[in-house]
Amino acid sequence: MYAIGNDHTGVELKKIIKKFLEEKGEVVKDFGTESTEASNYPEIAEAVANAVAGGECERGVLICGTGVGISIAANKVNGIRAVCCSEPFSAKLSKQHNDSNIICFGARVVGSELAKMIVGEWYDAEFQGGRHQTRIDMIADIEKKQK
Ligand code: RB5
């Protein structure tokens, strides 16, 4: 199951990406918002990040105006490797090398076709492990030192 969430800027793009993932056969749990009234992206980020870090959802998608704030907030949850991507190359490599478990982008930055390309490349990519796992373990060690 995939998690998806957005602030008020990403309501329409969220619907498009949710459908895109559903058409790939994924079940998508939608954490909202459905409202274009101003909302606070950290709340959505925390809900989606907890669902992914806790194992309820395999991976997640987060959308705000730029993708920046919502990725910063998601990365505060231990175990989350959220990336903010505006193009598909980084999205693909973020899965292959960094095992990104949440992808973020900006509804004010990317159009719907580019957003689908970003999510599509990320979805299809596989984590390559090996030396990349060593570095991810090092990231986890940073988290442990913060406690
Ligand atoms: C909301 O205006 C905007 O700040 C938010 O969507 C996001 O871009 C923050 O990083």
Ligand 1 atom nearest 108 alpha carbon: 8
Q: What is the pLDDT of residue 27?
A: 98
Q: Is 97 a catalytic residue?
A: yes
In this structure, which residue's CA is closest to atom 7 in ligand 1?
A: 65
Query: For the chain, what is the domain count?
Result: 1
Domain with 122 in it? 2-146
Cβ contact 86:106 at 8 Å: yes
Ligand 1 atom nearest 66 alpha carbon: 8
Q: What is the pLDDT of residue 83?
A: 98
- Report the chain (147 residues): mean pLDDT per 10 consecutive residues: 98 98 98 98 98 98 98 98 98 98 98 98 98 98 92
Q: What is the pLDDT of residue 39?
A: 98
With CA atoms as reference, report the closest residue to 61 among 16, 12, 109, 101: 101
pTM of the predicted model as reported, rounded to 2 decimal places: 0.98
Tell me 10's DSSP state. Answer: G
Q: Looking at residue 14, which CATH number applies to its domain?
A: 3.40.1400.10
